[in-house]
Structure 1
Amino acid sequence: MWEYEHAVETSAAAGEVWRWWADVTSWSTWNAGVVDAVIDGDFAAGTAFTMTGPDGDAIRMTLAEVAPGERFVDVMDGGDFTVRTEHRLEPLDGGRTRVVYRTEISGPAAGHVGPELGPAITADFPDVLDALVRRAEKG
């Protein structure tokens, strides 16, 4: 298995961060790595969505878990490997929030695919989280 985690703290309330996460069609307004995002239904476990990056590649994923206001997990099935990303909100003292992205690549090909694909997927996590919390802090 390959794994990576990045977190930031923000003065934004967890509910404000959640609002931007749950509005999939708005992701391109704060995430430079997303040109378009389309969801096939409600922001709920089992719903599929497609994210298109600046290179034009569309990636199909499924919301595997959704705990409103707390966390969601998306999964991309690569056949002999699976990319699972958890997006988590942790309350901190003083009304602050810790925002966490954690990616795991597992499956039979993870030992080969993970070290190559993992860093490519997660390289922008610091920038994405910074942009997300800046957007959430604005309200």
Structure 2
Amino acid sequence: MKTIATAKITTDVPAQAFFERWADMATWPQWNTDTDWVRLDGPFRTGATGRLKPKGGPVTRFVVTSLVPGREFTDVSLLLGARLTFQHLVGADPGGRTTVSVRVTLAGPLAFFWAFALGRGIAKGLDGDLARLEAAARAAGVPA
């Protein structure tokens, strides 16, 4: 497994607000600038499947491999010969503020190809996407 990008923020926005934004996948393009659309096949839960269309790329299937409300959301895009994993961890710092970290990894026999094709773009955009997600979560006004 190869880590291709990481990002982290600390904020006063409650963890629940981030989970509300992640669950509303149709709105992902509002904060994730590399995504044209996302469709979830059922409820937002572990095991859920869906499809997404990255800008300039083919429609890709994904699965929610872990969902622990208030703590973790992990989704895996199923690429040809590789798995692109986005792990989102939410916690609290000693002052009670919310920390959100994202780690993007690639695994599989063609991971080297996908790292070359996608890695730089994902790494370049991840901090901005997380900042826009924070703004969207804040704007949603989910109470603490």
TMscore range, shorter length:
0.7 to 0.9
Determine the structure 1 residue equivalent to 2:70.
Answer: 69
Structure 1: how far apart are the matches of 2:36 and 2:135? 19
Q: Partner letter of residue 33 of structure 1?
A: D
Determine the structure 1 residue equivalent to 2:134.
Answer: 133
Q: 1:128 Cα shift?
A: 0.4
Determine the structure 1 residue equivalent to 2:2.
Answer: 2
Equivalent residues, number? 139
* TM-score normalised by the chain length of structure 1: 0.87
Determine the structure 2 residue equivalent to 1:95.
Answer: 96
SS at match of 1:21: helix
For the aligned residue pairs, the C-alpha RMSD in angstroms reads 1.9
Structure 1: how far apart are the matches of 2:33 and 2:89? 20
Matched-pair contact (CA < 8 Å) for 2:60–2:79: no
SS at match of 2:130: helix
Matched-pair contact (CA < 8 Å) for 1:82–1:107: yes
Identity %, equivalent residues? 27
Matched-pair contact (CA < 8 Å) for 2:18–2:133: yes
Q: Is the aligned partner of 1:16 residue 2:30?
A: no
Q: 1:40 Cα shift?
A: 0.1
Structure 2: how far apart are the matches of 1:56 and 1:103? 18
**For structure 1, which runs of at least 5 residues remain unmatched after alignment?**
none
Matched-pair contact (CA < 8 Å) for 1:13–1:95: no
Matched-pair contact (CA < 8 Å) for 1:2–1:118: no
